[in-house]
Structure 1
Amino acid sequence: MTDGAGVIDRRAARVLLIDPAGRVLLLHGWDPARPDHRYWFTVGGGLEAGESLRDAAVREVYEETGLRVAPADLSGPVRTDMVRFPFDGRWYTQEQSFFVVRTLEFEVDLTHLGEYEVGCIDVGRWWSADELRETPERYYPEDLVALLREVG
């Protein structure tokens, strides 16, 4: 749905996949309209028509990582917030809810990405809070270290 200014409003489910060492899995990507704008981000994305937050979270985890989880594996939402951002030449206003899934470390499988994601996501990596604090690389949400501390 777009508002009068052409901004796309959407609802999204985001998932903090956390391993036993407390590291979070982030995906690396970029904006197709700004290929030099590269960043790390949490797993997740927009809800499809008629989809619940939990169902979207489960679907997104599989599509973006290859890991199969059940709605019962999700804790939360642990946070819901609103963000506004540009992507591929369009502006989005996104209400996003974050869930937590505790999992063993695994190798990310990007073969289930949607067609539009294949050209702008290239790798997954497990990050500790210390690594996030020290990296010069961009990541979202910008307060991810604090969020990780909140969820323990």
Structure 2
Amino acid sequence: MNPENEPTRIDRHGARCIVIDEQDCVLFIGRSATADRPARWFLPGGGIDPGETMRDAAARELFEETGLRVDQGDLVGPVARQFYHANRPQGPFTQENHLFLVRVERFAPHVAGGDAYEMDFEFNWISASGFASTEGFDNRIESLLDLVKRLINGDIPTAPVELDPAGPPAEAATGR
């Protein structure tokens, strides 16, 4: 990791999953665009609760947000690290996410628990070639796409890849 790109403050640590099916499509959760809000797609995952390991949190969040139960051994990695930056009403927020790979047979995801806002999640299986034509990704999608291509080809990093080495985007995203 490059220390000069490290945020000065981490508000929360998180775990997310790169879920890839047998057709090499990646599962994203979020929402489609409507007249009053833009599309927003992200990997399943969330904050690490006190006393949880990264793996525990990844498995719990994956179940809550998609209904998929996985064993610790099904989680490969962490294969990447990524910082999420947001401007929230209470001030700037930074979350350090640790990403795990999960290979699965395609399933019909559903929200199985978690927070109230998650009940409205939609699900989208997107092929690597479909990333560029899908609205709702932030400006770091290229680094995730590069990693997904590596993972699909069986090139599993021996140490976590830093997905956004340039640091926070010029304009931090708002919302989740």
TM-score (norm 2): 0.71
Q: Secondary structure at the match of 1:36?
A: coil
Q: Secondary structure at the match of 1:109?
A: coil
- Counterpart of 2:23 in structure 1 is 21
Closer/same/farther in 2, CA of residues 111 and 88 from structure 1, 3 Å limit:
farther
- Counterpart of 2:11 in structure 1 is 9
- Find the aligned partners of 1:8 and 1:36 in 2 and give their Cα distance: 28
Name stretches of at least 5 consecutive residues in structure 2 with no aligned partner.
Answer: 1-8, 153-176
Which amino acid is the alignment partner of residue 151 of structure 1? L
- Find the aligned partners of 1:88 and 1:20 in 2 and give their Cα distance: 41
Higher strand proportion (structure 1 or 2): 1
- Find the aligned partners of 1:145 and 1:90 in 2 and give their Cα distance: 30
Q: How many residues align?
A: 139
CA contact (8 A) 1:8 1:91 kept: no
CA contact (8 A) 1:84 1:91 kept: yes
1:88 CA displacement? 6.9
CA contact (8 A) 1:41 1:139 kept: yes
- Counterpart of 1:151 in structure 2 is 151
Identity of aligned residues (%): 36
- Counterpart of 1:38 in structure 2 is 39
1:115 CA displacement? 2.3
- Find the aligned partners of 2:121 and 2:55 in 1 and give their Cα distance: 25
**Structure 1 residues 92-149: Cα deviation after superposition (integer angstroms, max 9, x where no partner):** 201111100000000011142322433xx421111001111222x0225523211211
Which amino acid is the alignment partner of residue 129 of structure 1? A
Runs of 4+ in 1 over 6 A off after TM superposition: none
1:63 CA displacement? 0.1
Q: Secondary structure at the match of 2:29?
A: strand
RMSD: 2.2
CA contact (8 A) 2:13 2:96 kept: yes
- Find the aligned partners of 2:146 and 2:14 in 1 and give their Cα distance: 20
1:88-99 equivalences under 5 Å are 91-99=92-100
- Find the aligned partners of 1:51 and 1:102 in 2 and give their Cα distance: 23
- Counterpart of 2:126 in structure 1 is 127
Which amino acid is the alignment partner of residue 59 of structure 1? R
CA contact (8 A) 2:41 2:136 kept: yes
Name stretches of at least 5 consecutive residues in structure 1 with no aligned partner.
Answer: 1-6
Q: Secondary structure at the match of 1:59?
A: helix
Q: Secondary structure at the match of 1:139?
A: coil
1:86 CA displacement? 3.3
TM-score (norm 1): 0.81
